[in-house]
Amino acid sequence: MAGPIKIAVIGAGLIGPRHAQTVAADSNALLSAIVDLTSAGEELARKLKVPYYKTVADLLQSADKPDGAIICTPNHTHVAVGLELVRGGVNILVEKPISTDIESGQELVRTAQELGVKVLVGHHRRFNSYMLAAKDVVASGRIGDLVAINGIWATYKPLDYFDPPAVWRRAKTGGVILINLIHEIDLMHYLLGPITRVYAEPIPSRRGFDADEGAAITLRFKSGAVGSFLLSDNVPSPHNFEAGTGENPLIPQAGKDFYRLFGSEATLSVPDLTIWSYANTTVKSWLSPLTTEEVTVDVKTPFESQLAHFIKVIKGAEEPSCSGADGLRALIVCDALKQSLETGAPVDVASPL
């Protein structure tokens, strides 16, 4: 494809404007339109001086039909919007979760495959500089064979986070597992490979909504590694991805760790990227002093890196870093965790397709 890639943004809620501004600022992309039923979409289109459409159908029938589209609508609409776009021949970057149920997510992935349309799932944290550096350390073998991971995602969401127009966040499909933990599941897949078994104990609900508020979780990976994870969106805490990395400009950066990767030769903490080992001693023993090494990070904006990748995917130069199957894999783990919360028993994780 010659010239800039035409990309539309579908949805002008919380994350849509950020995607739209990123597309508008990229010289290799052309923001072709904003699509949203509400006045917020029209206002965003006016601000960015691009065409505005109320529906995907209107966009597909227009001269502004894009090469790719970024889906930023509420979780439960991702599949319906995605199917409409892929059936119109438009490649999609769909914000996580790819769907709120496994069957419809599988339908979207299969339909896109049959039509030869590319699907990239917006687990943008795979492009975060700290995670890229952590992945490099793991892949290099510097910490040895991965044995275990300990993770935390804990913070406090105020009640107005659940107010209209985001009242859907109070429902079962709007809880912390599907909104936040799904990111962490994808990152653990990225670092350690597929999760095959989960168990979860619920954190007591204090809001009274149908949405889950968190859990204490154990994990088993296909590699044989194991993990533990503490999840809560109703406690004051600096131990979460956003506060640790400073990625979200709306959330104050605290710099505290949220992952510890335990290897046979060393332990890596993230995001400070400190490697603890016995590298400078002749005796590998708990009686010997541990030494530390800090990995340097060249911090870049993940949304920009993800967009650059999406453009290459549309051009056929790269395969999706987080494919539809990858997105389904994270969703299936979240579904297994919900089953475990309901049954009080461990749950084996099914294959994505």
Spell out the domain ranges in the chain. 5-117, 126-299+332-348
Three-state SS at 122:
strand
Place of tokens 């589209």: 69
Model pLDDT, residue 248: 85
Residue among 271, 93, 75 at smallest CA distance from 173: 75
Three-state SS at 299:
coil
Q: Is the Cβ–Cβ distance between 193 and 226 less than 8 Å?
A: no
Question: What distances in angstroms separate CA 306 from CA 5, 174, 281, 324, one per listed residue?
Answer: 14, 24, 41, 15
Question: What distances in angstroms separate CA 226 from CA 147, 194, 232, 237, 270, one per listed residue?
Answer: 7, 11, 20, 24, 17
What is the per-residue pLDDT across 146-167, written as a single tens digit (0 to 9) for each? Answer: 999 999 999 999 999 999 988 9
What string of DSSP letters covers 3-17?
SPEEEEEE--SSSHH
Model pLDDT, residue 14: 85
| Positions of E strands within 137-194 | 146-154
Three-state SS at 53:
strand
Place of tokens 């990976």: 221
Cα distance between residue 126 and residue 133, in whole Å:
10
pTM: 0.89
> Which CATH number does 5-117 carry?
3.40.50.720
Select the CATH number that applies to the domain covering 126-299+332-348 from these four: 3.30.565.10, 3.30.1600.10, 3.30.360.10, 3.10.250.10.
Answer: 3.30.360.10
Model pLDDT, residue 1: 66
Domains 5-117 and 126-299+332-348 share a fold: no
What is the per-residue pLDDT across 238-248, written as a single tens digit (0 to 9) for each? Answer: 999 999 999 88
Q: What angle do CA 138, 244, 237 make, to 5 degrees?
A: 125
Residue among 246, 266, 298, 268 at smallest CA distance from 135: 268
Three-state SS at 79:
helix
Structure-block tokens of residue 193: 């490979």
Structure-block tokens of residue 106: 């599988």
Model pLDDT, residue 155: 97
- What are the counts of helices (DSSP H) followed by strands (DSSP E) for the chain? 11, 15
Residue among 232, 63, 65 at smallest CA distance from 151: 232
Low-confidence ranges of the chain (pLDDT < 70): 1
